Chain A
Amino acid sequence: MLGEYLPLFFLGVIVFGLIAVMLFLVRLLQPKRRSETDLEPYESGTTPTSFARTRFSVKFFIIAIIFIIFDIEVVFMYPWAVVFKELLNIGTFIFIEMLTFLGILVVGLIYVWKMGALEWD
């Protein structure tokens, strides 16, 4: 089975090598004409007022939390989907099992929805 992954390993090495070589070559080619104003942040022509890394809305953070939890549930669904037809020959229990799992997921979604964590205003 590891043989299946050999090409991916080669690909990874080649891609990183390629990027490194390109960056190196471009470094030799590019001109160096630097002035102080070149290095200032671009703010549509006005002088930058304050440091850029300000705080942003906590909603992005909440979205990331919700994402992780649903992402885990989605990953759980993949092996289930792959064996679904095969196990259906034994009985419909596999459908019921996933219905339970999905049901719990939906409860979570409804809760998040009702709490307004998905609202953007």
Chain B
Amino acid sequence: MLTDIAIIITKIMIVIGGTFTAVAYLILAERKVAGFVQERYGPNRVGIWGLLQPIADGVKTMLKEDITPAKANRIIYHLAPAMVLAPALVTFAVVPFGSGIDAFGRHIAFQIADINIGILFIFAITSIGVYGVVLGGWSSNNKYSLLGGVRSSAQMISYELALGLSVVGILLLTGSLRLNDIVEAQIGMWNVFRQPVAFMIFLVAVFAETNRLPFDLAESEQELIAGYHIEYSGFKYSMFMLGEYSNIITASALIVTLFFGGWTVPFIDVTKLGHLGAFLSVVSFAVKTGFFLFLYLWVRWTLPRFRYDQLMHLGWKILLPLALLNLLFTAAWITYV
């Protein structure tokens, strides 16, 4: 029992520590990619290639003054950043990041919790993240932040439907909500080839859910300056950023898990290779996730922003019907072919 708890705590520490590190370097990578796209250097002063920049930034935000606007609603203003960060850190728990190893006389899965409701847990927890955005925007008592919060929450709930429906096609094929079952069902054949339409819908919806370009209406700089977190400064601001970027990492990991075979390695059965296989599976997962993280940055510096009516049009009138059609087609295919 004590060993079990120790293993659980270790896994939690690895995941949280890994997420924080990944977020720090994702932000650096974003600035580097931006520099590359715009033909400039990007951060290159702190450490070699600017590799120590995240640490400098972290220390900086901690030492900055933390302003609470005079007419802000204090309790909610202080709680809102935590409401964004906490769900973002919890969602990764059900994503399997490796095949697992046998040690201490038991099988240790590389996943914090392999639960029966799997993917539904992620959707449920993500839906709580909306509160931080809408309440943060409301409590700041700023016109820009209120608009940003309301826009963003309506956007997130609109795309949640397409997101939820696009996954049903995969569930039809797999017959389980457990993410590890979904990964193991993809050995030999990735879901992206079986469900290409669902993948496209999922990808677009996930960009909208994480408020990233081309869907960053919540903080469209030219209109709202910074959107819902405009009044936040210092560490509370960086909590919003941490939450946002953790969500991006979870979203990329989820794309990989659902559509690109998760931790599986093409043409190699890692489950038979022991510890080497476990290592390979983690590397495979990390490389694939890294690619989608790069896609996020690439898209950000390539595509322009949608207008709000275009955003709603895409979500409700294109993605939702398309997801329904895909679902119907998949069900009919399984039944009659």
Are A and B close enough to touch in the complex, i.e. CB under 8 Å? yes
Interchain CB contact under 8 A, A81 and B146: no
Q: Is the CB of A8 within 8 A of B235?
A: no
- The CA-CA distance from A93 to B231 in the complex, in Å, is 56
Given A29-B63, A81-B172, CB of A41 within 8 Å of CB of B231: yes
Chain B residues contacting A82 (CB-CB under 8 Å) are 171, 175-177
Residues of the A chain whose Cβ atoms lie less than 8 Å from the Cβ of B308? 120
Q: Are B67 and A95 in contact (CB under 8 A)?
A: no
Interface range for A: 35 or more
Residue of A nearest to B124 (CB): A75
Complex contacts, A63 vs chain B, CB 8 Å: 154, 157-158, 312
Distance between B38 CB and nearest chain A CB, rounded to angstroms = 25
Closest A residue to B85 by CB, please name it: A19
Cα(A31)–Cα(B65), bound, Å = 5
Q: Are B225 and A56 in contact (CB under 8 A)?
A: no
| Segment from B206-214, B276-284, B317-325 that makes contact with A | B317-325
Interface size class of B (residues with CB under 8 A): 35 or more
Asked if B69 and A85 sit within 8 Å, CB to CB, the answer is no
Residues of B with C-beta under 8 A to A105: 324
Give A47-87 as 1s and 0s: 1 = Cβ < 8 Å from B's Cβ atoms: 00001111010001001100100110011011001111110
**B324 with A42: CB separation less than 8 A:** no
In addition to A54-B146, A74-B161, 15 A-B residue pairs with Cβ atoms within 8 Å of each other are: A7-B11, A8-B113, A10-B5, A10-B8, A11-B112, A26-B66, A38-B67, A39-B68, A67-B161, A71-B161, A81-B168, A85-B334, A102-B324, A120-B313, A121-B309
User: Which A residues contact B (CB, under 8 angstroms)?
Assistant: 1, 4-8, 10-12, 14-16, 18-19, 22-23, 25-27, 29-34, 36, 38-44, 51-54, 56, 60, 63-64, 67, 70-71, 74-75, 77-78, 81-86, 88, 92, 95, 98-99, 102, 105-106, 109, 113, 118-121
